[in-house]
Structure 1
Amino acid sequence: MPGAPYGIAVGPDGALWFTLVAQGVIGRFAEGLVRSHPLGQSDGQPTVIVAGADDALWFTEFQGDRLGRITVDGAVTSRSVDGPYGACVGSDGALWFTELRAGRVRRLGVDGEVTGVEVDGMPSMITPGPDGALWLTVNQAHAIARVDADLAPRVYPLPTPSAAPVGITAGPDNAVWFTEIGAGAIGRIDPDGEITEFALPVTDARPHAIVTGPDGALWFTEWASCRLGRITVDGAITHLDLPGAEPHGLTVDAAGYLWVAMESGALVQVSV
C-alpha cells in the first residue's frame, strides 16, 4: 500500500477507514479494494480517525490545525482548531477531541456548538469511559485526566516518572487502560482513580495505541519493536510479531478481527 497508515477505524459502512499521515490522504479499504481521498493539503498530517454519530468519519490534522469530516461518499469538510490529535464520540453523542498543542479538551455538540476546558500537559488520546465521562492521556504531564459532561477536569498523576501516556481505551473490567510510551508499560485506572502499571518485557518497545479485543483482553501496538501485544485484565502479557514496521493505530471490525495500521505501508489483519 503506497503511503503511511497511522489511524484506523471501522466506518458506518462497515469498511476500514484510515489516515495516510505523510500523504494528506484518507483511505477506505473494503472487499480487497483501496480507495483514496486526497485532502488537498498534504501538510496537514491526518492522524486519528473515528466513526462519528452522524454516519460520517472525523479525523484530526495536527499540523494543519484542522478537524476534518468525511462522508462515506468521500465528501470532505473541515473546521479550524488548534493542533488536534485524539478524538472520540462520547456517551452524549458529541464529538470530543484534544488540542495537544493548545492544552485543551473540546466538545463539538450535535448542534455544532463547541465548548472546552483547559488540560495542561499535551492532552493526547481520548476515550469514553465506563462511567460516561471522557478519559484521556496527558502526555507531558505524565497523567490521566477525566472530564465529565460539565467539562470539569480531574487529573491523576502516574506513579512512574516520564511515563508519557498516549493510547487509551475503556476496558472490559469497568476500568480504563492506557499505554505508557515513555516507560514501556501498560496502565490501568479504575473509577476511583487507583492506578496499576504493568511493565513490558522490553521497556523501550514504545507502546502506542490500545483497544479492547473480542476475547476480553487488551491489545496494543508496540511502535519500536514492531509487535502487537496482548494483556489480560490480570496482567498476563504476550506478543505477536508483525510484518513491516512502525505499527500505530488499531481497531476491531464487526467480524472480530484486529486490524493494525503499519506506517511502513500496510494494514495487517490479525485473528484473535
Structure 2
Amino acid sequence: MDAPLAIHEFQLPKVASGAFSIVMGSDKNLWFTEYSGNRIGRITTKGVITEFTLPKANSFPYSIATGPDKNLWFTESNNNSIGRITPKGIIAEFVLPITNSFPTNITQGPGRKLWFTDGSANRIGSITIQGTVTTFQLPTPGSNPYAIATGTDGTLWFTEAGANKIGYMTNTGAFKEFALQTSSLWGIALGRDKNLWFTEGNLDKIGRITPAGTITEFQLPSSNCNPYGITLDFNGKLWFTEYTSNRIGYIR
C-alpha cells in the first residue's frame, strides 16, 4: 500500500478566479490559468502567489504549457489568440488567422513549436516561438479536437470529442484517426510505455492506444465517475481525475 500523501492548499488572492490548468515553468515555479479571473498566476513551491492580468477582458485563458524558449504559452479561448508570458510576467498575444476560433489545449511539440487544439474551427494549430501560426484542418467534420499530447516519435495525438476518435498528426499535417464507441473522449497523455492513454468519460474507462493504433480499454471500479484529465507522474503511474465521483485515481 502506498504511504499517505500530504496535501497542502493555498488560497488565491482574488475570489472566483477559476484556476484551471497548471504546469511547471522553467523557473521551477508553477504557472496556472485563471479562467474566470482573466489572469495567469504563478505560485512558488512555498506558496507565494503572483497574478498577471491579461490585456483583454474576458479572454478566458484555458490551457498552459512551457515552451522551448522557457516562456509560458497559453490559449485564450475567448480572444481568438495564443498568449505568451515570460517568467518575469511580460505578456504578448498572437491572434489566430481564423476568426471565431476557440483554442483549448496546448502542448510543446516538434519543431520547437507549441501545438494546440481549436475545437470550433476543427483544426490543430502550431505556433513558433516568434509567433507564426499554422493550422491544419481535420479530415472528419465536426470532430472537435480537445486534448493533445506529443508521442515519442514527435507525432501529435489528440482526442476528438465530437467524433468518438483518437487521432494523430505528423508535423507536416498528415492525419490518421481511430474510431471508438465512446461519446466523451477527453484527456490524453503519453505513458512511460510509449503508448498514449486517454479518458472515456461516459464509459467510465481508461483507454490505451499503441503508436500502431491498437486500442485496449480498462473499466474503472466506480460507476458514473466520468474520468476527465490524465497525466503521467515520475514513477510511471498515470493519474486521472473523476469528474462526477469526486475522486483522483491512477493506473499502472
> What's the TM-score once normalised by structure 2's chain length?
0.90
Displacement of 1:42 in angstroms is 4.8
- Does the aligned pair in 1 maintain the 2:52–2:89 contact within 8 Å? no
- 1:106 and 2:83 equivalent? yes
Looking at structure 2, the residues matched to 117 and 189 of structure 1 have their Cα atoms a distance apart, in angstroms, of 23
Name which structure has the greater RCO, CA cutoff 8 Å, separation 6+.
1
Determine the structure 2 residue equivalent to 1:56.
Answer: 29
Which SS does the other structure have where 1:131 is aligned? helix
Looking at structure 1, the residues matched to 150 and 242 of structure 2 have their Cα atoms a distance apart, in angstroms, of 23
Measured against aligned partners, the alpha-carbon deviations of 1:133-165 in whole angstroms (never above 9, x if no partner) come to 111000111110011122111110111111111
Gaps of 5+ in 2: none
Determine the structure 1 residue equivalent to 2:251.
Answer: 270
Of 151, 160, 184, 2:164 maps to 184
Displacement of 1:185 in angstroms is 0.8
Measured against aligned partners, the alpha-carbon deviations of 1:153-206 in whole angstroms (never above 9, x if no partner) come to 11101111111111001111221111111111111010111011111133x1x1
Looking at structure 1, the residues matched to 230 and 42 of structure 2 have their Cα atoms a distance apart, in angstroms, of 20
Determine the structure 2 residue equivalent to 1:73.
Answer: 46
Looking at structure 1, the residues matched to 221 and 18 of structure 2 have their Cα atoms a distance apart, in angstroms, of 24
Change in Cα spacing, 1:61 to 1:111, as seen in structure 2 (3 Å) is closer
- 1:208 and 2:189 equivalent? no
Determine the structure 1 residue equivalent to 2:6.
Answer: 33
Of 232, 238, 243, 2:210 maps to 232
- Does the aligned pair in 1 maintain the 2:73–2:85 contact within 8 Å? yes
Looking at structure 1, the residues matched to 230 and 19 of structure 2 have their Cα atoms a distance apart, in angstroms, of 15
- Does the aligned pair in 1 maintain the 2:230–2:239 contact within 8 Å? yes
Change in Cα spacing, 1:56 to 1:31, as seen in structure 2 (3 Å) is farther
Q: RMSD value over aligned CA atoms? A: 1.6
Q: Which has the higher strand share?
A: 1
Determine the structure 2 residue equivalent to 1:129.
Answer: 109
Determine the structure 2 residue equivalent to 1:22.
Answer: none
- 1:143 and 2:123 equivalent? yes
Looking at structure 2, the residues matched to 197 and 130 of structure 1 have their Cα atoms a distance apart, in angstroms, of 20
Looking at structure 2, the residues matched to 143 and 195 of structure 1 have their Cα atoms a distance apart, in angstroms, of 11
Looking at structure 1, the residues matched to 35 and 27 of structure 2 have their Cα atoms a distance apart, in angstroms, of 22
Aligned pair count reads 240
Determine the structure 2 residue equivalent to 1:3.
Answer: none
Q: In percent, how many aligned pairs have the same letter?
A: 36
- 1:96 and 2:69 equivalent? no
Looking at structure 1, the residues matched to 204 and 70 of structure 2 have their Cα atoms a distance apart, in angstroms, of 35
Looking at structure 2, the residues matched to 248 and 133 of structure 1 have their Cα atoms a distance apart, in angstroms, of 26
Change in Cα spacing, 1:60 to 1:243, as seen in structure 2 (3 Å) is farther
Displacement of 1:125 in angstroms is 0.4
Whichever residue aligns with residue 235 of structure 2, its letter is A
